[in-house]
């Protein structure tokens, strides 16, 4: 399963936002990957997610495989849509 989402927070997928995404991904048993352009990384790797350098307006694709893949994608997409809990 996969879902494409836009990065909407002002600072993009910076260290704190990446940490929140990885923490969320780690709550699930599913294998979670994040893709931006040709680069695909583990959604459970802080360094991998930060290496995507996803700025505001970027599109990333969340990919999940496993028993809880659907709920994992839903929760992670909500986190991105809610600007990782940031004000802007």
Q: Which of 3, 8, 14, 77 is catalytic?
A: 14
Is residue 88 predicted with pLDDT exceeding 70? no
DSSP single-letter state for residue 81: H
| 76 burial type by CB count under 10 A (0-12 exposed, 13-18 middle, 19+ buried) | buried
Q: What is the pLDDT of residues 53-77, one digit of tens each?
A: 999 999 999 999 999 999 999 999 9
pLDDT digits (tens, 9 = 90+) for 3-33: 999 999 999 999 999 999 999 999 999 999 9
> Which of 33, 42, 30, 27 lies closest to 66 in space, CA to CA?
30
Which CATH number does 2-85 carry?
A: 3.30.1340.10
Judge whether residue 38 has pLDDT over 80.
Answer: yes
User: Is the pLDDT assigned to residue 87 strictly greater than 90?
Assistant: no
Ranges of each domain in the chain = 2-85
**Is residue 14 among the annotated active site residues?**
yes
């Amino acid at each position: 399963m996969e879902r494409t989402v836009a990065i909407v927070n002002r600072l993009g997928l910076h260290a704190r936002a990446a940490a929140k995404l990885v923490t969320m991904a780690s709550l699930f048993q599913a294998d979670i990957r994040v893709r931006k352009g040709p680069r695909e990384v583990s959604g459970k790797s802080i360094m991998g997610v930060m290496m995507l350098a996803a700025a505001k307006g970027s599109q990333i694709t969340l990919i999940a495989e496993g028993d809880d893949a659907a709920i994992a994608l839903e929760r992670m997409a909500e986190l991105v849509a809610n600007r990782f809990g940031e004000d802007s």
